[in-house]
Amino acid sequence: MQIQMTALQNREKGNYDISFLNEEVAKEIYAYHKSFPVYQYTPLVSLNNLAALLKVKDIFIKDESYRFNLNAFKVLGGSYAIGKVVAEKLGMSLEDLPFERLISDEIREKLGEVTFITATDGNHGRGVAWAANQLKQNCIVYMPRGAAQERVENISNLGAEVTVHDANYDECVRMANDLANEKGYYIVQDTAWDGYEDIPRWIMQGYMTMAYEIYQTMQEMEKKPTHVFLQAGVGSMSSAMTGFFANVYPGEEKPVITIVEPDAVACIYESALAGERVLIGGEYFTIMAGLSCGEPNTVGLEVMFDHADYFISASDDLAAHGMRVLGNPVGDDRRVISGESGAAPFGVVSKILTCDKFADLKAELNLNEDSVLLFINTEGDTDREHYLEVVWDGKHPITE
């Protein structure tokens, strides 16, 4: 059980323009997603008994395991980016392309046959494959070594051509990009690098639908988070949420935002320490497959440098602990089925709140009985075999 935490070091906070993550944009994207027949609001679960036990005011968890029946939030980004790609290619506005029209024969004929390509550890590729499938277009998905069989099958069942490579996530991204350049495919990647920023920005914007739903519900409940904990792989999701919350809760209103990563590959935490973008290469392993990325999104990193308050690197046993606690609710609290990447921030915070070993972190974060904590369960049991090994068999027990 290891937790390292830092604020931004070796660099001043800057002034990166986060207007592309504001409420107005979020509202438009929310309207786009609402036009999908499969759209349903995902629950914002309030764990009252657990909050009392952990001695905080409220614990809210946005449960994205219900998103579009795909067991993870990721489709929000891919589906919006693909909509934007199609709209741009046809010289149309996405406002004129609600879902039914987007997937119509008329649009398919205008567009001709196209191929979308992406690299993924599972959830993003499933979202892109789902969107390509709806558009009756081709999709190619590259996956890194160690990809769980269930995650591979979930993508190929959507008609995508899936290959698993002896490479890590970032290497798969480069390979997919090379093929896209060679063949004229559309790469729909959930991370940005120099010269490739439009699509990742759309993906980040697409994720705002969940932030917008959270914000709406909390307004209705007359609640406001004091602390938001966000898990990060390349940091597209965490930066989109960070930018949105910094926009809707300006100045003193802004909650304390903390980014959480696996210590096996904590590229954003390392970047925060160095005050510049740090790349982690080679072979690494974490059970948090969705967070297993070594190269931060260039756009997202700027947003987080400016607006995230803390960066945490944590061991795998804490993610497993989070899965067990959320899967075994206290009293009549609602059960949250949370996978490795989904549960990580909660697992970390539950130990910060209860272990003497982390008392200094609890004080630094100013966590107390007035705290209103917000988490996002970004995935359910996307690898069911491993989920049961963790929750039933106690795999990856807490170590001291």
Ligand X SMILES: Cc1ncc(COP(=O)(O)O)c(C=O)c1O
Segment interacting with ligand X (CB under 6 A) among 106-114, 226-234, 244-252, 312-320:
226-234
Residue 205's nearest CA partner among 345, 41, 78 is 78
- Taking CB under 6 A as the rule, which mask of x and - marks residues 323-362 in contact with ligand X? ------------------xx--------------------
Q: How far is the CB of 242 from ligand X (least distance, A)?
A: 11
Question: Is 204 or 352 the residue whose CB approaches ligand X more closely?
Answer: 204
Q: CB-wise, 74 or 324, nearer to ligand X?
A: 74
Residue 186, strand partner residues? 116
Contact 269, 4 (CB under 8 A): yes
Among 237, 266, 326, 390, binds ligand X (CB under 6 A): 237
Backbone angles phi, psi at 39, to 5 degrees: -60, 135
Provide the β-strand partners of residue 259: 230, 311
CA 382 to chain centroid, in Å, comes to 14
Among 79, 137, 231, 371, binds ligand X (CB under 6 A): 231
List beta partners, residue 119.
Answer: 142
Q: Is 110 part of the annotated catalytic residue set?
A: no
The token pair that represents 175 in the structure block: 């390979």
User: Contact with ligand X (CB under 6 A): which of 83, 144, 225, 235?
Assistant: 235
Q: Alpha-carbon distance 137 to 159, whole Å?
A: 9
Burial class (CB in 10 A: 0-12, 13-18, 19+), 280: middle
User: Is residue 121 a contact residue for ligand X (CB under 6 A)?
Assistant: yes
User: Residue 190 catalytic?
Assistant: no
Contact 88, 219 (CB under 8 A): no
Q: How far is the CB of 73 from ligand X (least distance, A)?
A: 7
Check binding of 123 to ligand X (CB under 6 A).
yes
> Does 272 contact ligand X by CB under 6 A?
no
Q: Does 189 bind ligand X (CB under 6 A)?
A: no
58, 63, 121, 317: the catalytic one is 121
**Catalytic residue (one of 62, 74, 84, 351):** 74
Give the side-chain half-sphere CA count within 13 A for 216. 14
Near ligand X by CB under 6 A: residue from 50, 102, 158, 291: 291
Give the Å distances, CA to CA, from 198 to 202, 207, 232, 253, 298.
Answer: 6, 15, 20, 30, 12
Q: Judged by CB under 6 A, which stretch of 80-88, 233-241, 322-330, 389-397 contacts ligand X?
A: 233-241
Least Å distance, CB 59 to ligand X, is 19
Does residue 71 touch ligand X according to CB under 6 A?
no
78, 144, 290, 345: which one contacts ligand X (CB under 6 A)?
Answer: 290
**CB of residue 331 to ligand X, shortest distance in Å:** 27
Using the contact rule CB under 6 A, the part of the chain among 225-233, 243-251, 279-287, 388-396 near ligand X is: 225-233
Task: Compute and round to an integer the Cα radius of gyration of the chain.
Answer: 20
* Least Cβ distance, residue 382 to ligand X (angstroms): 7
Tokens of residue 306, six digits: 């400016």
- Count Cβ atoms within 10 A of the Cβ of residue 52 and give its class: 0-12 exposed, 13-18 middle, 19 or more buried: middle
For ligand X, the closer of residues 243 and 290 by Cβ is 290
CB of 298 to ligand X, least distance (A): 13
Count H helices, E strands: the chain? 16, 11
Q: Does 126 bind ligand X (CB under 6 A)?
A: no
Judged by DSSP in three states, 271 sits in helix
Give the closest residue to 386 by CA, choosing from 288, 314, 265.
288
Residues that bind ligand X (CB under 6 A): 72, 74, 121, 123-124, 190, 231-238, 290-291, 293, 341-342, 378-379
Catalytic residues: 74, 121
